């Protein structure tokens, strides 16, 4: 419902084409730091803990992706008030979001292809190496962008450039595919974490669509796009918090909690199948003896009619 409302609002604002801006100097960096930095970093921390516990590759990729999103969200907003700030902000954040979306998509594909794949002999070293690569990427984008060595992503009043549009489209597609695959895994496992996670990814994709359609950074359609991304981050946070609540309430380790969530759904499905099997057997018995009951009922009715006639 929320996604549909946001899509409708974005479409309406795109048609209206309002050429106004609202960009207070500190508002964007503060909001980005809260929603697009703190929440992704917390999610990255949770994924890192889980990876060290169970060693699954998708967890490493998800943690790295969230780290990239958090880095872009934290740094990008602080350039908005500088000369050429809108382009610098867009370039840093969208590049980081692209890396995040690709890593998350590979994580979902890995779950589908080889969910138990664990090729790392040293999990700590693998985690530190991957996270360091993400820091280098985000830091490199910031340095190159502020040095004027990256082509413009957006031109105020005209909208995204070909480079900026290409990056956004690829990011939106990757987030969308990740959301679909995650939702598919949710229907199989019933884990609430995946439900909120897939919703968050879909909201991120919707928000970036608004950013793709904006002509001026700080326009109404741009703020709707940002708000959609903030809502997506909140959904992801709810999913992560639901996982931690389960861990605390059960007293299990991180790996045991993750296994417990999946096993609980499996048990529920097995119980449903058992109930359906029992119901089917009862229906078969009813249908088997139904003709006898109908015959007796007809015979009794015929006898009563004969008595009345005599």
Using DSSP's 3-state secondary structure scheme, residue 90 falls into helix
Question: What pLDDT, on a 0 to 100 scale, did the predictor assign at position 270?
Answer: 44
Say if residue 309's pLDDT is above 50: no
Confidence of residue 297 (pLDDT cuts 50, 70, 90): low
Say if residue 273's pLDDT is above 70: no
Question: What pLDDT, on a 0 to 100 scale, did the predictor assign at position 268?
Answer: 47
Question: What pLDDT, on a 0 to 100 scale, did the predictor assign at position 277?
Answer: 62
Q: Which two structure tokens, joined as six digits, stand for 254?
A: 């991180």
Question: What pLDDT, on a 0 to 100 scale, did the predictor assign at position 286?
Answer: 63
Q: 192-213 vs 162-189: helix axis angle to the nearest 10? A: 160
Confidence of residue 269 (pLDDT cuts 50, 70, 90): very low
Q: For the chain, what's the residue count?
A: 310
Question: What pLDDT, on a 0 to 100 scale, did the predictor assign at position 118?
Answer: 79
Alpha-carbon distance 178 to 1, whole Å?
19
Average pLDDT, integer, range 266-292: 56
Angle at the Cα of 10 from the Cα atoms of 6 and 11, rounded to 5 degrees = 115
Alpha-carbon distance 229 to 240, whole Å?
17
Annotate 186-255 with DSSP letters as a single string.
Answer: HHHH--HHHHHHHHHHHHHHHHHHHHHH-SSTTSHHHHHHHHHHHHHHHHHHHHHHHHHHHHHHHT--HH
**Residue 159 backbone phi and psi in degrees, to 5:** 105, -170
Average pLDDT, integer, range 143-162: 95
Alpha-carbon distance 92 to 84, whole Å?
13
Say if residue 280's pLDDT is above 80: no
Question: What pLDDT, on a 0 to 100 scale, did the predictor assign at position 295?
Answer: 52
Question: What pLDDT, on a 0 to 100 scale, did the predictor assign at position 120?
Answer: 81
Alpha-carbon distance 303 to 291, whole Å?
18
How many CB atoms neighbour CB 149 within 10 A? Answer: 8
Fold observed for domain 2-251: Rhopdopsin 7-helix transmembrane proteins (1.20.1070)
Q: Tell me the domain boundaries of the chain.
A: 2-251, 254-310
Say if residue 161's pLDDT is above 80: yes
**pTM of the entire predicted model:** 0.83
Whole-number mean pLDDT of the chain? 86
Confidence of residue 253 (pLDDT cuts 50, 70, 90): confident
Confidence of residue 107 (pLDDT cuts 50, 70, 90): very high
User: 114-125, pLDDT tens digit by residue?
Assistant: 767 778 889 999
């Amino acid at each position: 419902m929320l996604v549909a409302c946001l899509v409708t609002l974005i479409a309406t604002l795109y048609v209206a084409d309002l050429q106004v801006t609202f960009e207070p100097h500190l508002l964007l960096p503060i909001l980005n730091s809260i929603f697009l930095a703190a929440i992704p970093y917390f999610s990255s921390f949770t994924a890192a803990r889980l990876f060290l516990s169970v060693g699954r590759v998708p967890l490493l990729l998800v943690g790295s992706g969230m780290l990239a999103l958090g880095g872009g969200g934290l740094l990008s907003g602080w350039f908005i008030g500088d000369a050429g700030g809108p382009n610098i902000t867009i370039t840093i954040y969208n590049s980081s979001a692209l890396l995040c979306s690709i890593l998350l998509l590979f994580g979902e594909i890995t779950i589908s292809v080889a969910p138990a794949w664990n090729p790392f002999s040293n999990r700590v070293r693998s985690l530190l190496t991957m996270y360091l690569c993400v820091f280098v990427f985000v830091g490199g984008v910031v340095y190159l962008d502020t040095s004027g060595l990256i082509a413009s992503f957006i031109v105020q009043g005209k909208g995204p450039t070909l480079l900026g549009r290409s990056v956004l489209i690829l990011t939106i597609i990757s987030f969308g595919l990740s959301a679909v695959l995650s939702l598919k895994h949710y229907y199989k496992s019933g884990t609430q974490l995946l439900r909120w996670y897939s919703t968050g990814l879909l909201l991120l994709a919707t928000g970036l669509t608004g950013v793709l359609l904006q002509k001026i950074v700080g326009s109404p359609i741009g703020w709707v796009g940002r708000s959609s991304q903030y809502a997506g981050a909140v959904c992801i946070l709810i999913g992560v918090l639901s996982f931690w609540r389960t861990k605390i309430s059960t007293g299990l380790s991180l790996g045991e909690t993750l296994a417990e969530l999946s096993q609980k759904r499996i048990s529920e499905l097995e119980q449903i199948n058992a109930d359906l099997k029992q119901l089917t057997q009862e229906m078969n018995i009813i249908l088997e003896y139904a003709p006898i009951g109908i015959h007796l009922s007809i015979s009794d009715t015929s006898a009563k009619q004969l008595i009345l006639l005599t």
